[in-house]
Amino acid sequence: MTNVKKIILFLAILFSAIILAPNFSNAATTTNVGTEDALNEAITNATDGDTILLTADIALSKPIEISQKTITIDGANHTISRNTESWEDVGQNATLITSGIEAKVTLSNLVLRYSKKYGAQSYNGGYLILDNVTVADCGYGGIIVNAGTVEIRDLTLHRNGGQSNNGIEIAKGLSVNTGNNQPTLIMNGKLSSTEDENVIYIAINDQLSEFAVENTDTTINKILGSGNKVVVTDEFNNIIFESNTTNKAQLSGDPFIPNITITINAMGQNVAATLPQGSVLTKEQLQQKINLQSLGLTDYTIDGFFTEQEFKTEYDYTKPFTENTILFAKLSQVTKEPTKDTSPKTGVEDYMQIAVLVLIASTLGVVALRKKEY
C-alpha cells in the first residue's frame, strides 16, 4: 500500500471516529440505585434516554422534582414512599415524584405509597408516563394532571385521598402562574381501581378552565367526554368510571357514544349483540355474532340478513347501526349425501357367497384329480 493510500485510510478512520464519538458519548445508560441519595444523584447526572433501576424500596425524605430531562425510573416492582419521620416539603410541593417543566418522565414497574399529597404529577407542561404503576394510600390523591400531560399505559389505583377517594385529579393549581399549559390525560392501555368513587376527579377550586382527554388507537380503556363530565369505558364500550361534573372547565376530546343492541332472529330464536353506536358490520361479521350450533341449527347455513321476517329486503351492510335494530337471518338447510356402508359384511348373504366359492374350488379340485388319473 502506498503512503498516499495509507494517509487517505487514516484520515477516513479519523473522520469516522470524530463523527461517531458524540453518539457513543450520548448513548443511553442504566444506573442501579438502592437509596434516596443514590436516586437523587442518578437523576442529577442523567441525560436524555437514561434509565434508573431500583434495587430496593426507597423511603423519601423530600419530593423528587425532574425538569428538562427525558428519563425512565424503573422500579423493578419496588416501592417509593414517604419517610413519615423525616419528610420535608419543597415549597408547595409534597408529591413523591413530579415531571416538571420540559421533562418527560416514565415510571414503570413501580409502587407509590404514603405520599403526603399525590403519588406523582405532571406539572406545568411536564409529561408523565405510567406503565405498570400502582398508587395507594396517598393523602390528597393518586395522580394529579397539574397543567401537564399524563399518559396511562398500565395504572392501578387503590384508596387515595382523605374524606373521599381521589384517583386521578385533573387540575391547574394556583402555583401554575406562567404559560398557557392545560392538563391532558391520555389513555394508552388500561386503568383499574379498587374504588369506584372519583377515579377521575375534575378540580373545581383552582385555575382550571379547559382540559383535554385523548385515546390511542390500541388502548383497552378509553376516556371520553359525556356532557360536563368524563367517563372511562372498557373494551366493550361499557362505562366503568365517571367523574364529577364541572360547569366552569371546557372539555375537548372524543365524545362517549352509548352502545346499541342488535337482535338477530333465526327461525324464531333471538340472539342479541351489543355494539357501539355507529358501528358498521359486514355480512361475515354479522354471521360471527350468531352461533347456529348453540341454537340447535347445525344443519343450516346463513344466506343473509333481512330487515323483515318475510326476507324481502336484505340489510345494507354499509349502513351504520344508529339505533336498536332487529334483523332476520335467512337460513338454508344443508343437503347431505347418503353415506356408503363400508363396514365388513357378516350376514347370511356373506356366508352364501363364501359357500359358493368353496363349492367351485372343490369342483375344480375333483376335476383336476380325475384328469391326473387318466
Most confident region among 2-11, 72-81, 173-182, 315-324 by mean pLDDT: 72-81
In angstroms, the first-to-last Cα distance of the chain is: 108
**Which of residues 173 and 141 earns the better pLDDT score?**
141
User: Model-level pTM?
Assistant: 0.75
- Across the chain, mean pLDDT equals 88
Q: What is the model's pLDDT at position 18?
A: 47
Dump pLDDT digits (tens) for 146-172: 999 999 999 999 999 988 999 999 999
Here the cell at position 101 is 417543566
> With 50 as the cut, is the pLDDT of residue 23 above it?
no
Contact 292, 266 (CB under 8 A): yes
Residue 281: pLDDT over 60: yes
Write the CB contacts of 219 (distance below 8 Å, at least 6 apart in sequence). Answer: 187, 188, 189, 190
325-340, pLDDT tens digit by residue?
999 999 999 876 666 6
What integer pLDDT is reported at residue 105 of this predicted model? 98
pLDDT value of position 357: 62
Give the Cα separation of 72 and 53 in Å (integer).
8
Coil, strand or helix at 93: strand
CA distance 120 to 157: 12
What does the pLDDT read at residue 24?
Answer: 45
CA neighbours within 13 Å on the CB side: how many for 252?
7
The pLDDT tens digits for 203-237 are 988 889 999 999 999 999 999 999 899 999 999 89
Mean pLDDT for the stretch of residues 256-279: 92
DSSP string, 232-258: EE-TTS-EEEE----SSSEEESPBP--
The mean pLDDT value for 30-50 works out to 97
Neighbours of 338 (CB within 10 A): 5
**DSSP annotation of 335:** P
- The domains found in the chain, sorted by start residue, are 30-252 (2.160.20), 259-333 (2.60.40.4270)
Report the percentage of the chain scoring pLDDT > 90. 72
Average pLDDT of the segment spanning 10-19: 53
Mean pLDDT of 169-183: 86
Work out the average pLDDT over 11-26.
51
Q: How confident is the model at residue 127 (pLDDT cuts 50, 70, 90)?
A: very high
pLDDT for position 271: 94
H or E stretch including 351? Answer: helix 348-373
Hunting for cell 390523591 — which residue is that? 141
Question: Which residues 6+ apart lie within 8 Å of 349 measured at CB?
Answer: none
Q: Is residue 311's pLDDT more than 70?
A: yes
Classified as helix, coil or strand, 328 is strand
Question: Which of 125, 168, 175 lies closest to 147, judged by CA?
Answer: 125
| Residue 151 grid coordinates | 399518559
- What's the grid cell of residue 303? 344466506
Give per-residue pLDDT as tens, 68-110: 999 999 999 999 999 999 999 998 899 999 999 999 999 999 9
